Amino acid sequence: MSQLTVLNIKFFVKKNRAKNNLAPLYVRIAYGTSSVDLSLKRDIDLANWDGPNGRPIGSRDDVRAINNQLDQVRAEITNCYSELKYQKKDITAEVVRDLFCGIVPKERTLGELVEYHNGHLKHTLAWGTMKNYITTQAYITRFIEKNYQVSDLPLSRLSYTFLVDFEIFLLNYKPLDHHKPCTHNTVLKHIERLRKMINVAIKNEWIEKDPFAKFQAKFIRKDRQILNEEEVDALEQKDIKVDRLAWARDLFVFSVYTGLAYCDVMTLTSQNVTRGIDGEYWIITARQKTHQSVRVPLLPKAMEIVTKYRTDPRALAAGTLFPTLSNQNLNAYLKEIADICGIEKNLTFHLARHTFATTIALCNGVPIETVSKILGHTSIRTTQIYAKVVEKKVSQDMSSLRSKLLAKSQPTPHFKGLQAAQ
């Protein structure tokens, strides 16, 4: 072991503070590059002090008592060091001193953890994702105030029971505002975000036990809604006279043929449209949510919409490819469009992304690996959620299989004279 990792304990007196030849006695704790001095709250007669050995000399009872005290202090400090080492704690001279003095480090709280987590991620996450963490934070605060009658909890109070109670609280919570109560999957989303925060605490060694160790929860798998081919055609072909609705419809259709999410569509500029390796126009951008690079060939329908808004004054003023529209207004307009087009599904902008993955891409034979790349997913498992195979595709595949099986069941024609020809 090198000198820098050895615990050193040295007793000394401060002669510059001596009065009437009596100097205060100190112990110096040194470990690695850190050291700290601690007063032992007693004075030593300088005439009896042996500086090199760090001990008083003499055979009087009072001298023997001091030496016994110094031996005890050395043993206790050494035991504190051994305990920290056994617990695999980060050791410094200050940490050894605090344990020796019985000073308990201030424990981190759940509120501090959430603030730390959200503060470190606010510059790396898209606003939509960050907003979800803020919502989870609000629910955690309400839960603690209701169940514990306090504003915050130390991390050591987190347990399996805490998580179960939090889940029950979310399932039974009735919002007083316009928001809807949490569904099963929404509850698990909040718990999933809490899990990510707890993982930060574990990595920083702010908590000893993982409260999620025995907690299990499963999402209820729901089929994602999409528009079928007939509904996409109805949307495209409808003659919409109201400008704001036609505008919203065009943005939606653009996403249907590119798979781009709302935030990515709204931030596109002319710089994102360029010639690809095939000489055709492509959209080259990066997803705001994951920062993954996205390269999307512009299909004819998408290119028509780009061309339509190329000289739109609103887009030119904003410096974007399309006139910008808030997500809230866009989704409100899509509800009106669904009524106009006779579409009974809950039409939201994100539905266009699902529709691209299934109706436009997968159902037309585009491999799931290609779809995953276009959507900018970090894992193909994410794409599989979008890969709902519609009945028309099942029918086509089974029809193809039926034809193959029928062909195999037909008797092989017998060509007379084949043997002779050979």
Instruction: For the chain, give every domain's residue range.
Output: 3-101, 110-203, 229-398
Q: Tell me the pLDDT tens digit for each residue of 156-200.
A: 899 999 999 999 999 998 877 656 788 888 899 999 999 999 999
Q: Which CATH number fits domain 229-398: 3.40.1710.10, 1.10.10.10, 1.10.443.10, 3.40.50.620?
A: 1.10.443.10
Higher pLDDT residue, 121 or 353? Answer: 353
Give 299's pLDDT tier (boundaries 50, 70, 90).
very high
Q: Tell me the pLDDT tens digit for each residue of 150-163.
A: 999 999 899 999 99
Percent of the chain having pLDDT more than 70? 91
Average pLDDT, integer, range 337-361: 91
Question: Above 70 in pLDDT, residue 412?
Answer: no
Q: What pLDDT sits at residue 420? A: 44
Question: Above 70 in pLDDT, residue 288?
Answer: yes
User: How many other C-beta atoms can be found within 10 angstroms of the C-beta atom of residue 210?
Assistant: 15
SS3 content of the chain, % helix, strand, coil (to 5): 55, 10, 35
Closest by CA to 117, choosing from 129, 105, 99, 104, is: 129
pTM, entire model: 0.58
**Least reliable range by pLDDT among 123-127, 273-277, 415-419:** 415-419
Q: In sequence order, which residues have a C-beta less than 8 Å from that of residue 259 and are 6 or more positions away?
A: 296, 353, 356, 357, 360, 361, 371, 374, 375
**Least reliable range by pLDDT among 93-107, 260-274, 309-323, 404-418:** 404-418
Whether 269 and 320 have beta carbons less than 8 Å apart is answered as yes
Q: What pLDDT sits at residue 413? A: 59
Q: Say whether 308 sits in a helix, a strand or coil.
A: helix
Q: Tell me the pLDDT tens digit for each residue of 21-77.
A: 999 999 999 998 899 999 999 999 998 899 899 999 988 888 889 999 999 999 999
Q: What pLDDT sits at residue 2? A: 43
